[in-house]
Structure 1
Amino acid sequence: MTAAGTGRTASAVVLVLAATLGALGLVQWAGHGRAPFGDVVFERVEAAAAAAGLQVCRVVDEPGGLAGGAVASRVYDLAVRCPAEGATVVVDRFATAADRDAAARRFESLLRPRGSGAVRTLGDGTVLVRGEGDDDVHRALARALDAAGAR
C-alpha cells in the first residue's frame, strides 16, 4: 500500500468514527431518561411543592387537557407565601407513557430560548415549570421534583 493509500484509509477510519460518535450522541440526547410511568402526577407535584416549603396559591383544573394527547391538566401557582410571586407550573396527565414522552419531547423543542421553562416527566404526566417567576422557588421546586423521581 502506498503512503497516499494509507492516508486515505486513516481518513476514512477517522470519518467513520466521528460519524458513529455523532450518532451515539444524538441517540443519547433524544432518548435521555424519563421517569417510570405510573402514579397520578397531580398528587406527586403537590407533595413535592409541600416538601419544598411552597404554598399552592391557585389551582386551575383543565379536565380536557391542555397539551395534545393529555387526558387532564392542572395549572398551579406556587410561592413561598401567597400571594407573592413564585412559579407557574403546568401539569398534564396522559393515558400512556408513549403519549407522555412524546409531549415532553415537544415541550423540550418549544422551550427556546433556554430559561423560558423546564419540563420533566413524573408518574403519568409532564411537569412544565415556566421560566418567569422567583428563582428561589424554581430551585426549591426543582430539588423537590428530582427527589420525587422526576426526570
Structure 2
Amino acid sequence: MTLKRFIRFIVFYMLFALLILAVLFIVDSKNGENMNQNIEGRESSVVESVLNNKNMAIIKADQFESQDENDYLVYFFSEECSNCREFLPTLETYSIAPEALKIFAVDVSSSDSDGTVKDNLIKGTPTLIRIQNGNETWRSLGKLPMDHIPKRSTD
C-alpha cells in the first residue's frame, strides 16, 4: 500500500467517524429537546389537578374522617401511580357534576399517611371511599367509569 493510498484511507475513515459523531450529537440533542418538552408540556400532576379544582381538596391522611361534610369521597392516590393519572380525568369530570360529592384527596406516598393507609386497609391506588355521617359506606379500588362513582342523594 502506497503512502498516498494510506493517507486517503485514514482521511476517509476520519471523515466517516466525524459523520457518525455528528449524527449521534444531533440525535442526542433532539432527545434532550423532547425531554424538555415533556417536562414543560407534561400532563398536570394529580396534586396540581386537585388543587385547581374547587370541588376537590388535598388533606392530610389523618384528617379524612373529620371533615365538615356529612357525605363525601376520599380519594387515596399516589403521584407515581399510572392508574391514578389515567383515572384523574374521570374524577375531574365527575367533580363538576351538580350531584357530585365533595372529594378529599390523600397522597399515600406522603410520610404522614403510613398509619392511615394501614389502619384503613388501603391495598392500592387509586382507592375511593365514601364517608356518610362519619362511616365508610362504599369503597372501590382501581379505575372505574364515572357512572359507578356514588352521587349525592336527591332526597
Structure number with the higher strand fraction is 1
- The structure whose Rg is larger is 2
